[in-house]
Amino acid sequence: MTLLKTSVAKKVAMALSGLFLVLFVLLHLAINLTLIYPGKEAFDAAVEFMATNPFIQIMQPILFLTFLFHIGMGIYLEWTNKSKRSVKYVNNNPGAASSWASRNMIWTGFFVFLFLIIHLFNYFVPFKTQDVPDHYELVIRLFKNPYYTILYVMAFIALGVHLSHGFQSAFQTLGTPREKCNRALDITGKIVAVIVAVGFSAIAIYFYFN
C-alpha cells in the first residue's frame, strides 16, 4: 500500500481502475447487444465463451477485485475529502463553477453499486451456482418486470452521468496534456457516457415492449 500513500497516487489508481471498468462495461454492452442482433444464438454463444474462455476466467477475479477497489477507494476518498471541511458554508453555490456530475460521483457511483448487487443476484449468481437452462430466457424474463426495467434504466443513466465526468477525469489524472487532448477526451467521454446509458437502456426497453 505504500504505493498508494499520496492523494495523487490514490487518484491515479482510481483512474486506472475506472478505465478498466469502462472497458468491461463496453464489452458487456457488446455482448448484450447480441440479444437484439443477431439474436439468441449469438448471445448464447457469447455466454458460453465468457463462461469457458481461460483468459476470461483469469480476468473475472481481477475484474471483481477492481470493482471492489474502485468502490472502496471511491468511498474512502469521498469520506476523507468530506472531512477536510468540517464547517460548511452557510451559502454555497457550487453550481456556478462545476457540473453536477463532477460533484456527485459518489452518488451516481453508489446507485450503480446498488444496482450491481441486485444485478449480480439476478444474473451472475444463478449463472454460476445453478444450472440455468436458458440464459437468453432469464434475461428477457427480467425485463418484463416494469420495476426492474425502470431500475435498470435509471442505473445506466446514473452510470452515464458517472462516466460523463469520470472518463475525461481519469485521463486528466493520468496527466494527458490538456491543451492538446482535452476537447477530444471531453467529447469522447460524453460519447462513451451516452453509448453506455442509451445502449443498455435501449435493450431493456426493447425487451420490455417486445
Partner 1 sequence: MKLNLKIWRQAGPNAKGRMVDYQIDGVESDMSFLEMLDLLNEKLIAKGEEPVAFDHDCREGICGMCSLYINGEAHGPDRLTTTCQLHMRRFKDGDTITIEPWRANAFPVIKDLIVDRSALDRIQQAGGYISVNTSGRTVDANTIPIPKKDADNAFDAATCIGCGACVATCKNASAMLFVSAKVAQFAQLPQGRVEAAKRVQDMVAVMDAEGFGSCTNTGACEVECPKGISLSNIAILNKEFILAQTK
2 makes contact with partner 1 (CB under 8 A): no
Among 61, 133, 146, 177, binds partner 1 (CB under 8 A): 177
57 makes contact with partner 1 (CB under 8 A): no
Comparison of 57 and 98: residue with beta carbon closer to partner 1: 98
Closest CA to 173 of 190, 165, 194: 165
Q: Compute how many other C-beta atoms are within 10 angstroms of the C-beta atom of residue 11.
A: 18
| 159 CB-side CA count, 13 A | 26
# of chain residues touching partner 1 (CB under 8 A):
43
- From CA 81, how far away is CA 101, in angstroms rounded? 17
Is residue 185 within 8 A of residue 176, CB to CB? The reply is yes
90 makes contact with partner 1 (CB under 8 A): yes
Q: Is the peptide bond before 38 cis (omega within 30 degrees of 0)?
A: yes
Comparison of 85 and 146: residue with beta carbon closer to partner 1: 85
The contact mask relative to partner 1 for 10-39 (x = CB under 8 A, - = no) is: xxx---------------------------
CB of 207 to partner 1, least distance (A): 36
93 makes contact with partner 1 (CB under 8 A): yes
- What distances in angstroms separate CA 21 from CA 15, 62, 136, 166, 191, one per listed residue? 10, 11, 24, 11, 16
Judged by CB under 8 A, which stretch of 39-47, 53-61, 83-91, 124-132 contacts partner 1? 83-91
99 makes contact with partner 1 (CB under 8 A): yes
86 makes contact with partner 1 (CB under 8 A): yes
Comparison of 18 and 160: residue with beta carbon closer to partner 1: 18
Is residue 162 within 8 A of residue 113, CB to CB? The reply is no
- From CA 40, how far away is CA 53, in angstroms rounded? 20
- From CA 209, how far away is CA 59, in angstroms rounded? 34
Comparison of 109 and 199: residue with beta carbon closer to partner 1: 109
Task: Enumerate binding residues for partner 1 (CB under 8 A).
Answer: 3, 6-12, 77, 80-94, 96-99, 102-103, 105, 165, 168-169, 172-179, 182
